[in-house]
């Protein structure tokens, strides 16, 4: 998993990649700073966001628009209309977001406004952002931000890896797994089995913590 420094480099590379990339920086930020699934970020609307001028904000998630193909939806549209994964249809998931990401979302809204239905992210014609479009931007940014060795590895191979990195960061930071599971929208069992990844560089941090604990008992 990417560490926070690598994540910042990736998000900066997205912004600098193109005009479309600048619009999508906050989209990828949703995956990294709030642990959203791509389909949840696609459907994020201004009414879902509490963005104070200072301090932490909150994203109140109430739905998702994953792309499944028009042949697999009742409406014939490429994106399925769903509630939150693993939750009742009308349930809401509340995800606190840190001040730097609050500022990023506020800047995004100021620069780009919202779609008619309030969505923060849209195509040039106002439609739902597509995986093919943001995936292309991501791959170009990845080549700019990562070393050749990192590019050859699975690290941040697809945007969903930012969600993995976010949840892994929460766990590695010592946040209670029950709270992490609530924010990520998972059971604790699934969380620990799937998302307890190792961040790049955390082995040395773990060693330092163990060494400190040993010294306390000398």
Give the per-residue pLDDT at 175.
86
Q: How many domains does the chain have?
A: 1
Q: What is the per-residue pLDDT across 98-110, written as a single tens digit (0 to 9) for each? A: 999 999 999 999 9
Instruction: Indicate if the pLDDT at residue 173 is higher than 90.
Output: no
The pLDDT-based confidence of 174 (bands split at 50, 70, 90) is confident
Give the per-residue pLDDT at 199.
61
Give the per-residue pLDDT at 73.
40
Q: What is the per-residue pLDDT across 22-46, written as a single tens digit (0 to 9) for each? A: 999 999 999 999 999 999 999 999 9
Inter-residue contact 132 to 78 (CB < 8 Å): no
Give the per-residue pLDDT at 72.
37
Give the per-residue pLDDT at 91.
82
Burial class (CB in 10 A: 0-12, 13-18, 19+), 112: middle
Report which of residues 91 and 53 the model is more confident about.
Answer: 53
Q: Domain range spanning residue 196? A: 4-216
First to last CA, the chain: 34
The pLDDT-based confidence of 196 (bands split at 50, 70, 90) is low
Give the per-residue pLDDT at 198.
63
Give the per-residue pLDDT at 184.
92
Give alpha helix (H) positions in the chain. Answer: 4-17, 19-34, 38-42, 99-112, 131-145, 148-152, 160-172, 177-184, 188-190, 202-216
pTM above 0.85, yes or no: no
In this structure, what CATH number is given to the domain that contains residue 138?
Answer: 1.10.443.10
Inter-residue contact 94 to 58 (CB < 8 Å): yes
Q: What is the per-residue pLDDT across 30-87, written as a single tens digit (0 to 9) for each? A: 999 999 999 999 999 999 999 999 999 999 999 887 764 443 344 444 445 555 554 5
User: 119 has which bridge partners?
Assistant: 45
């Amino acid at each position: 998993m990417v560490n926070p420094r690598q994540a910042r480099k990736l998000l900066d590379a997205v912004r600098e990649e193109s005009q479309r990339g600048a619009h999508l920086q906050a989209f990828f930020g949703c995956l990294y700073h709030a642990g959203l699934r791509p389909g949840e970020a696609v459907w994020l609307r201004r009414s879902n966001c509490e963005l104070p001028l200072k301090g932490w904000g909150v994203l109140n998630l109430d739905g998702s628009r994953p792309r499944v193909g028009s042949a697999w939806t009742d409406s014939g549209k490429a994106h399925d209309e769903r509630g939150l994964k693993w939750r009742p249809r009308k349930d809401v998931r509340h995800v606190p977001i840190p001040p730097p990401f609050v500022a990023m979302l506020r800047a995004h809204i100021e620069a780009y406004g919202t779609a008619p239905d309030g969505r923060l992210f849209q195509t040039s014609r106002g439609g739902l952002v597509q995986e093919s479009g943001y995936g292309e931007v991501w791959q170009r940014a990845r080549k700019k931000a990562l070393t050749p060795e990192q590019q050859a590895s699975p690290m941040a191979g697809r945007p969903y890896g930012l969600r993995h990195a976010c949840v892994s960061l929460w766990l590695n930071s010592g946040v209670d797994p029950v709270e992490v599971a609530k924010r990520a929208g998972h059971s604790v069992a699934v969380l620990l089995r799937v998302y307890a990844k190792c961040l790049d560089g955390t082995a040395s941090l773990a060693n330092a913590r163990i060494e400190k604990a040993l010294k306390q008992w000398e």
